Amino acid sequence: MTTDLFQYTVWIPILVFLSFLIVGLSGDKLSNKLAGSISTATISIGMILSYYTAYEYFLVHGNINGVYETLLPFNMEWLSFSDTLSINMGIYLDPISVMMLVVVTTISTMVHIYSFGYMEGEEGFNRFYSFLSLFSFSMLGLVVATNIFQMYVFWELVGVSSFLLIGYYYYKDSAVSASKKAFIVTRFADFFFLVGILILGYYTGTFDFIELTDSAGSAIGSFAGVSFLGIGALTWALTLIFIGGAGKSAMFPLHIWLPDAMEGPTPVSALIHAATMVVAGVYLVARLFVMFVLGSPEALEVVMWVGALSALFAALIAITQTDIKRVLAFSTMSQIGYMMLALGVSGYGGEDGLGYTASMFHLFTHAMFKALLFLGAGSIIHAVHSNEMGDMGNLRKHLPITHATFLIAALAISGIPVFSGFFSKDEILAAAYASNKIVFFIGWAVAGLTAFYMFRLYYSIFWNGEKAYEHTPHEAGPSMTFPLMFLAFMAAVAGFIPFSEFVSPDGLPYHAHFHWNIAIPSVLIAVAGIWVATMMYKNPSSKPDGVMAKIPLFYKWSHRKFYMDEVWVFFVHKIIFKLVAWPIAWFDKKVVDGSFDGMAWVTNKVSDKIKGFQSGQLQQYAVTMVMGLLGFALTLLYWMSK
């Protein structure tokens, strides 16, 4: 059986989990080097195993009769509720989970290696590595989830490790509040996810992905005729689940946690908030894609519009941000919007499934170049000790490797031909063009904006005149430069992977051909964006200020992120706190506490009174006893005489 061949895959998450236990439980007993080495070694083994799995799956065994089978090499009953309802834990292998295994382990390994240099000498080095292992384990568990409940469990674990890592500098107030914000916002979204899961489980009677996403199966049909508020139950379930995914993937309007999450160490931003965790929402939608596309096109339309809106919105904000990590954060949000958009415009089967393929393709390439951008930013921050663009300039002289790799990544994300981003973005736009012209134009515009803000960032950092540095910035050691180079290589060549041969909604490979009519305008607008950025930012000039002065309102709104934080604060404080929380608190304080206080008060008073009987006065006792006896005798006599 092919299934048996893949049984070793269960060791990928388990090994990483063991590393978390060893490093986490030993505390400071292990030396930093040893702790880091254990973590890095386990994730590296995971990476090798993942590559081997991908090779075996895609090229040797997986393709049976032209279809990529879904394999369950490991599946055990974890929680048994009743004869019909139990929750399993297992390994689920299909094209996208194998691809995600590769992405997660690759980026995670690179980040592990990178952190050796970046986190050197930091307090809590071992803690950092144990959290990294926990995160990697959770993420691996998430991608190989066999059922939606397992996915939910690991989904929350991922959220916890994200919380822990954002709050890594727990002595900084900003980091603490950022971690809280990230946790609460994503948890808020996860509430909807859970409700969606329950609706889904209620109607279909199963949580297993195999049954849920069986295009010929009964799961989708089990919703027929059930509706609520005029909208079908399946649409409700999928939309609620999508809200959970949107929370994790920082889609508008639940994106507010992502920029603040940049308070975490930069390698963490690269791993969690750029490459892996934030695409979990995309992965979730892709995982349930069959349900979306066959069962509820309405929900898929929601996905599309949320994706398109987020992509545009984030790109507009990214233009004016000055903190380099925040620019990258908004860029991440924008690119994930792209992936959502691609899923939203996708159809099922053959060429129609291009959007799905493109989304996964973009997920893959984006993970590479965005992780590279973040690690590059980390390298820059490491060198100049600042996040602000204004403190940087002319760094290409000081940081040649970072410069080269960053440029590759910037070209890739801008969609310049040959680099990986070009291919995936081209497929997305082609899919959008075939499905919805408005969405296509949004995507097209975002491509230009992306090129513009990426090169604004690039020029501000690496050109634009020398700045006064405390000490001359210099390139970090090989542990930091090796991951940069590796990822740069991936970012450059990943686009040549024929993704449509491997990933499609129905598992049937097809051949995606190149769309010249899409590629030319998208390259043109990208080049235009780069050209404008070159004009404005290559050399120090007053041009940016001049442009800024012409569009003050836009600049201000964009710089303040369109006041989304303020809107949420208003919503939370004025509406949730005042209208919901306050009455609940009042009820809790006055009625619940009050009744318990009342009980205590009554007990107190009664005991006060009863205490009087226990006076220590012998004669009172005697009187009481005599009276009691008399009463007893009288009662007895009365009763006997009847």
Restricting to residues 353-412, name those near other proteins by CB under 8 A.
none
Place of tokens 């939606």: 148
Give whichever of 606 and 630 is closer to other proteins, judged by the CB atom: 630
- Least distance (Å) between residue 614 CB and other proteins: 7
**From its phi and psi, is residue 474 left (phi > 0), alpha (psi between -120 and 50) or beta?**
beta
- Least distance (Å) between residue 627 CB and other proteins: 6
- Binding segment for other proteins (CB under 8 A), chosen from 43-51, 380-388, 417-425, 610-618, is 610-618
- Least distance (Å) between residue 579 CB and other proteins: 54
Give whichever of 535 and 629 is closer to other proteins, judged by the CB atom: 629
Give whichever of 218 and 615 is closer to other proteins, judged by the CB atom: 615
- Least distance (Å) between residue 588 CB and other proteins: 39
Q: Calculate the alpha carbon distances from 250 to 107, 166, 279, 316, 526 in Å.
A: 20, 15, 9, 16, 25
619 binds other proteins (CB under 8 A): yes
Q: Which two tokens stand for residue 290?
A: 């069959």
Please check whether residue 457 is in contact with residue 532, taking contact to mean a CB–CB distance below 8 angstroms: no
Q: What is the DSSP letter of 353?
A: G
Identified binder of other proteins from the candidate list 517, 608, 614, 642, rule CB under 8 A: 614
Provide the β-strand partners of residue 76. 89
- Least distance (Å) between residue 605 CB and other proteins: 20
Instruction: Tell me, residue by residue from 623 to 642, as one string, x for binding to other proteins by CB under 8 A and - for no binding.
Output: x--xx-xx--xx--x-----
Please check whether residue 49 is in contact with residue 91, taking contact to mean a CB–CB distance below 8 angstroms: no
- Least distance (Å) between residue 610 CB and other proteins: 14
Give whichever of 227 and 635 is closer to other proteins, judged by the CB atom: 635
Please check whether residue 344 is in contact with residue 355, taking contact to mean a CB–CB distance below 8 angstroms: yes
Identified binder of other proteins from the candidate list 511, 542, 618, 639, rule CB under 8 A: 618
- Least distance (Å) between residue 634 CB and other proteins: 6
Cα 463 to Cα 457: distance, rounded to the nearest angstrom: 10
Q: What is Dmax (Cα atoms) for the chain?
A: 118
Give whichever of 584 and 629 is closer to other proteins, judged by the CB atom: 629
Give whichever of 508 and 627 is closer to other proteins, judged by the CB atom: 627
Give whichever of 81 and 639 is closer to other proteins, judged by the CB atom: 639
- Residue 620 three-state SS: helix
Q: Which two tokens stand for residue 488?
A: 């740069």
- Least distance (Å) between residue 622 CB and other proteins: 6
- Least distance (Å) between residue 28 CB and other proteins: 54
Cα 255 to Cα 306: distance, rounded to the nearest angstrom: 11
Cα 68 to Cα 66: distance, rounded to the nearest angstrom: 7
Q: Sign of torsion, CA 163 169 171 174?
A: negative
Give whichever of 569 and 625 is closer to other proteins, judged by the CB atom: 625
Cα 440 to Cα 431: distance, rounded to the nearest angstrom: 8
Cα 34 to Cα 255: distance, rounded to the nearest angstrom: 37
Identified binder of other proteins from the candidate list 216, 516, 616, 642, rule CB under 8 A: 616
- Least distance (Å) between residue 615 CB and other proteins: 7
Of 267, 269, 271, 266, the C-alpha closest to 257 is 269
Cα 50 to Cα 33: distance, rounded to the nearest angstrom: 25
Q: What is the DSSP letter of 512?
A: P
- Least distance (Å) between residue 174 CB and other proteins: 58
Cα 288 to Cα 197: distance, rounded to the nearest angstrom: 11
Of 176, 187, 183, the C-alpha closest to 162 is 183
Q: Which two tokens stand for residue 630?
A: 């008399």
- Binding segment for other proteins (CB under 8 A), chosen from 55-63, 516-524, 597-605, 614-622, is 614-622
Q: Calculate the alpha carbon distances from 636 to 231, 454, 633 in Å.
A: 75, 100, 5
Give whichever of 554 and 613 is closer to other proteins, judged by the CB atom: 613
Give whichever of 31 and 617 is closer to other proteins, judged by the CB atom: 617
- Binding segment for other proteins (CB under 8 A), chosen from 38-46, 198-206, 396-404, 613-621, is 613-621
Burial profile 541-559: b = 16 or more Cβ within 10 angstroms, e = fewer: eeebeeeeeeeeeebeebe
- Binding segment for other proteins (CB under 8 A), chosen from 285-293, 466-474, 571-579, 617-625, is 617-625
Restricting to residues 31-70, name those near other proteins by CB under 8 A.
none
Restricting to residues 258-317, name those near other proteins by CB under 8 A.
none
Give whichever of 21 and 630 is closer to other proteins, judged by the CB atom: 630
Of 229, 221, 183, the C-alpha closest to 204 is 221
Give whichever of 520 and 633 is closer to other proteins, judged by the CB atom: 633
- Least distance (Å) between residue 620 CB and other proteins: 9
Identified binder of other proteins from the candidate list 567, 575, 580, 622, rule CB under 8 A: 622
Residue numbers at the binding site for other proteins (CB under 8 A): 614-619, 622-623, 626-627, 629-630, 633-634, 637
